[in-house]
Copies of this chain bind each other. A is one copy, B any other.
Amino acid sequence: MTEVAVVRNKQVILKDHVDGYPKESDLVVNSDATIRLELPKNEAGLILTKNLYLSCDPYMRSRMRSKMEGSYTSSFIPGAPISGYGVAKVLDSTHPDFKKGDLISGLINWEEYSMITNPQLLIKIQHTDIPLSYYTGILGMAGMTAYAGFYEVCSPKKGDTVFVSAASGAVGQLVGQFAKLYGCYVVGSAGSKDKVDLLTNKFGFDAAFNYKDVQDLNATLKSYFPDGIDIYFDNVGGKMLDEVLRNMRIHGCIAVCGMISQYNLEQHQGIENLIFIILKRVRMEGFLVLDYYHLYPKFLDTILPLIREGKITYVEDTVEGLENAPAALIGLFSGKNVGKQVVAIAHE
């Protein structure tokens, strides 16, 4: 009889549901939990994982609330580890579809090891020549969001003028690159000089600006889009959306992907320029990537060659260690991250 290791299993726990602005201290790193690194052999359908990379995503903010009217996600449970998209390695499995050594991506707990009882939602990683962390971003939810949002929701045409907010983020950097590859004129906004430099120097945007430096958003948008905006890929909502509405072109489209500027407000800012939806015959469409996962194989066929040929780049902002995960997640809401925010728990 071999001895089975019982090891420490560090976890990130939500202390209590959070209203208003979340703080790092709303999350606590528990180093006392342990896990037995073996599955009960008489129970089928389980997998045991070593967790490698975690994705920090803005939608997770709503899961920190006790409830949110109309939300499509469930709340985190206070006292339990939070969960999100991530990449893990299978250490043991009693599930016929997974075996030891497999690499998987999907919803996992924020902890070093997990026993997963519901592995139907996991997918096996097939292409391991790409950095594994990419499955939390460009090859995961963010990538699919950018792909579905730009190609399916925006219905772009070559030559369209495209504006992207939060443009250096996990989704925005890809939308901008997709739009450039499609032959569009692309401008992005971001919240620091470093991010703005990334947009024009690394991602090939035609222009970019730091919205925090702007006195008159309307005038700034008019200077970049003298003939108006055909496509606005909205990641931020609020004041930016309001001023973009005034600058839309006839029959333009606003793909509403996120409203990160509003997630921590108890009452959302009022949008006053919706009349332009009529004046300019604008289609404004909210979407969720969940509705588009049937396109994932087609997406991989598109994106993998682009990555391998260097035609698409992806910037990650990686923190090492679960103990730094709370700061990384909370940092999203002040725009601390430069590029896709990833937590590396372990590299293999």
Contact = CB atoms under 8 A, between A and B. Distances in A.
A285 B286 contact: no
Number of identical monomers bound together in the oligomeric complex: 2
Contacts of A262: 275
A299 interface: no
A274 B268 contact: yes
Interface in A276-323: 276-288, 291
Contacts of A277: 256, 284-286
Interface string A225-237: 0000000000001
Of the candidates A284, A285, A286, the one having the most CB atoms from chain B within 10 angstroms of its own CB is: A286
A69 interface: yes
A274 B259 contact: yes
Interface in A237-290: 237, 241, 246, 256-259, 262, 267-288
Q: How large is the interface on A (under 10, 10 to 19, 20 to 34, 35 or more residues)?
A: 35 or more
B283 A70 contact: no
Q: Is the interface of A mostly helix, strand, loop or mixed?
A: loop
A246 B281 contact: no
Of the candidates A69, A273, A278, the one having the most CB atoms from chain B within 10 angstroms of its own CB is: A278
Given A69-B246, A246-B70, A283-B285, A272 B268 contact: yes
Nearest to A241: B274
B286 A280 contact: yes
Contacts of A69: 246
Contacts of A281: 285-288, 291
Contacts of A223: none
Contacts of A285: 277, 281-284
A279 B70 contact: yes
B267 A270 contact: no
Contacts of A278: 256-259, 286-288
27 contacts: A69-B246, A70-B246, A70-B276, A70-B280, A72-B279, A241-B274, A256-B277, A258-B278, A259-B275, A259-B278, A262-B275, A268-B273, A268-B274, A268-B275, A269-B272, A270-B271, A270-B272, A271-B271, A271-B274, A277-B285, A277-B286, A278-B287, A281-B287, A281-B288, A282-B286, A283-B283, A283-B285
A120 interface: no
A272 B259 CA distance: 12
A169 B258 CA distance: 36
A266 B288 CA distance: 35
A267 B246 CA distance: 14
